[in-house]
Chains A and B, each alone.
Chain A
Amino acid sequence: MSTYDKEYLQEQHLLGKLSPEEQKAFDQILEADPDFAREVKAGELAVEGLKSLHVHNRVQELRKQMSAGQGEEKPEKPVKKKEGRVISLLRRPLSIAASVALLIAAAYFIYLSYGSQSLYDQYSRHPSFSVTEMSSAPSYDLSRAETAFQQGDYEVSQTELSAYLAENPTDTMALLFQGICQLELDNFSQAERIFGDIRAGTSDVQEQGEWYLALTYVKQKDTARARGILNAIPQSSEKYTQAQELLKNIGE
């Protein structure tokens, strides 16, 4: 029996689609080949894990929906776009009262623009998305991911990056941008996992991964964990100065 046949049989077994004849052949191989039997057992556990994780995620999702809207379908999350503010200039003369009102409004505007800006907003200055830095990118059209990222359309960007990463799972630069998209979309557990993986590795973007892991906690207002990561950023890191500054701000 060739490897291909084993592979096919294993897949049909995991999908519960073996015909009686195939089942017979499969059982014979399992008996004769302990290594294959081991692999099949691991495959069964993998599928078991995927199914239970799906159940867990779906239940959590529904629970969240029920708590938020008593079961009503929430509208789709709007695409987050960071756009520049447009300030129109008033040219006609103003009365004193109007001037005072304008001053108050201006102060409020300044407060909204800077005073209320979260720490995350202050520190999340993303690197520019560069297709050329991605290892296998020339054979893959990432221009949509790039444009969407630059426009702040992280949903589209992450979908494009997902497809690319499926075929290039070791491209850490693409993973970094995938993580940033997840973070911007508030998919914290996914962002945390991606940045955690990058941080644990030795790639060129390891320091970025570490920094973004800290920002993931900052955005969730989990200051204890953010501190833990920021304190661990070494002096040699390009992010050290920013990390120290952020640490001070967290402490305020």
Chain B
Amino acid sequence: MENNTTLKDEEILAGLCSGKKQEEDRALMGMYQAYFGMIQSHVVKNNGSPEDAEDIFWTGIEAFWNKARQDDFSLSSTVKTYFYSICKYKWLEELRRRKRKDDKHNPLDSDHQEIPADVDISGEILQEEKYEWLWKKIRMLNETCIKLLTHFYVQGDSMKQIAETLGMSNSNSAKSAASKCRKQLAVLIMEDPNFPV
């Protein structure tokens, strides 16, 4: 893994949205090096363990990445502020969950009570439930279908590249297989009673 110097916000966002492993890794490593200490300090200061800090950091990374790749995403603050807010929110939710569970009060410091107004993390939980639901459908496909669709729709690879990577005879067979796989997934989604339309 490459050791980064501090990355600019634009570099982090571009890396996360690139669909290319190397660039994603560079952005993620940049975030790890720049922000892990900050998140760890926050969690540990607020009744968490180093393991909790690690969990919160990585779930925060996942939430941030999912936000960043959305077409309508615009950063109204710095990546640092936004990411810190997500992790604070996640840790607050976790503390609330634990409090509900054992009904013991977990005192929160004043720093913990607020989430900056410029950071919209509403709908976070609903979003996670939606993802879980979709992953369940995706996992019903065979492994090759998943790889094929990921290469095409997530990584933006051409059919020619995909055919080479997956050892398929040519780009036409990759295209036809991708179309079948996408339709199969769409049917699985549409057949589910939770399908919103």
Contacts and interface: CB of A to CB of B under 8 A. Distances in A.
Interface string A156-174: 0001101101110100000
Contacts of B187: 42
B16 to A, nearest CB: 8
Interface in B52-66: 54, 58, 61-62, 65-66
B142 A49 contact: no
Interface stretch (A58-66, A109-117, A212-220): A58-66
Given A49-B131, A167-B177, 19 more contacts: A41-B196, A42-B189, A42-B190, A45-B195, A49-B138, A50-B150, A51-B153, A53-B131, A55-B69, A58-B21, A58-B28, A63-B58, A71-B29, A159-B166, A162-B166, A165-B142, A165-B144, A166-B148, A193-B143
Interface in B156-171: 156, 166-168
A222 interface: no
Nearest to A162: B144
B86 to A, nearest CB: 13
Contacts of A182: 143
A39 B190 contact: yes
Interface of B: 1, 3, 21, 24-25, 28-29, 32, 54, 58, 61-62, 65-66, 69, 71, 130-131, 134-135, 137-140, 142-150, 153-156, 166-168, 173-174, 177, 179-180, 182, 185-187, 189-190, 195-197
Interface residues on A, range: 35 or more
Contacts of B197: 37-38, 41-42
Given A42-B189, A59-B62, A175-B142, A54 B167 contact: no
B150 A163 contact: no
B144 A169 contact: yes
Contacts of A58: 21, 24, 28
Considering the complex of A and B, which 6 residue pairs feature the smallest CB-CB distances, nearest first? A49-B134, A163-B167, A42-B186, A166-B144, A42-B189, A52-B131
Nearest to A170: B142
B173 A167 contact: yes
Given A71-B1, A162-B147, A166-B168, A39 B32 contact: no
A49 B131 CA distance: 6
Contacts of B24: 58
A38 to B, nearest CB: 5
Nearest to B36: A66
Contacts of A52: 66, 131, 134-135
A97 B140 CA distance: 62
Contacts of B25: 62
B134 A48 contact: yes
A21 interface: no
B186 A39 contact: yes
| Majority DSSP secondary structure for residues of B touching A | helix
A14 B153 contact: yes
27 contacts: A39-B190, A41-B195, A42-B189, A42-B190, A42-B195, A45-B195, A46-B134, A46-B186, A49-B131, A49-B137, A52-B131, A54-B155, A55-B69, A59-B65, A62-B32, A66-B32, A71-B29, A71-B32, A162-B147, A162-B167, A163-B167, A165-B143, A166-B144, A166-B168, A194-B142, A194-B143, A197-B140
B26 to A, nearest CB: 11
A50 B153 contact: yes
A37 B196 CA distance: 12
Contacts of B155: 54
Contacts of A231: none
A152 interface: no
A118 to B, nearest CB: 25
A121 interface: no
B154 A54 contact: yes
Contacts of B142: 165, 169, 175, 178, 194, 197
Given A39-B186, A46-B189, A159-B167, A190 B134 contact: no
Contacts of B130: 48
Contacts of A175: 142
A14 B65 CA distance: 19
